[in-house]
Amino acid sequence: MSSPVIIGMKVHCNACEKEFPIGKKQQMLLVEDKPIVCKGCNSELIMSSAQKQRFLGFDNPAKYLMLVSAGLGLLGVIIFGGTFLGLLRSDALVLITVAVTVGGNLVLGSKLKNATKHLMVDLDPKLPRDGESI
Ligand SMILES: [Zn+2]
């Protein structure tokens, strides 16, 4: 089974109301019904089956934005590398590249924020089971 990894995924803690982003490792733990630790209150949080269904239904809108971002970064490296090696001798080209990579990443950053806004699940604190020592 391939676990989905959602870029820009966030969780909401039902215990302390804190929202925080989670990465691949934490997403995989949640899919496997294992707890993750809240960054706000240090509770162990688990994903209910209803939230899990939502999570598994998420698309990954940030994926192509990350590709564009990587492309911009690569372009920057090529232009700066070329300039450094003396292959390119155009200051204007360097300035344009700086403007495009910096501006592009700013636009991407806000796009990313909007695109991933809805990617959040509510997590409940894990309740100690009967007989389980705390
Ligand atoms: Zn919390």
Q: In this predicted model, which residue has the larger pLDDT, 83 or 2?
A: 83
Cα first-last separation, the chain:
33
Domain ranges of the chain: 10-58+119-125, 62-115
Distance 66 CA to ligand 1 centre (A): 29
Between the CA of 41 and the centroid of ligand 1 the distance, in Å, is 4
Quote the ligand 1 centre to 87 CA distance (angstroms): 54
Express each pLDDT in 28-83 by its tens digit. Answer: 999 999 999 999 999 999 999 999 999 999 989 888 888 888 998 898 888 888 88
- Token pair, residue 5, equals 């990894």
User: Is residue 131 very low, low, confident or very high in pLDDT (cuts 50, 70, 90)?
Assistant: low
Determine the distance separating the centroid of ligand 1 and the alpha carbon of 15, expressed in angstroms.
5
User: pTM for this structure?
Assistant: 0.71
Given the structure tokens 């950053």, which residue do they identify? 109
| Three-state secondary structure readout of the chain | CCCCCCCCCEEEECCCCCEEECCHHHHHHHHCCCCEECCCCCCEEECCHHHHHHHHCCCCCHHHHHHHHHHHHHHHHHHHHHHHCCCCCCHHHHHHHHHHHHHHHHHHHHHHHHHCCCCEEEEEECCCCCCCCC
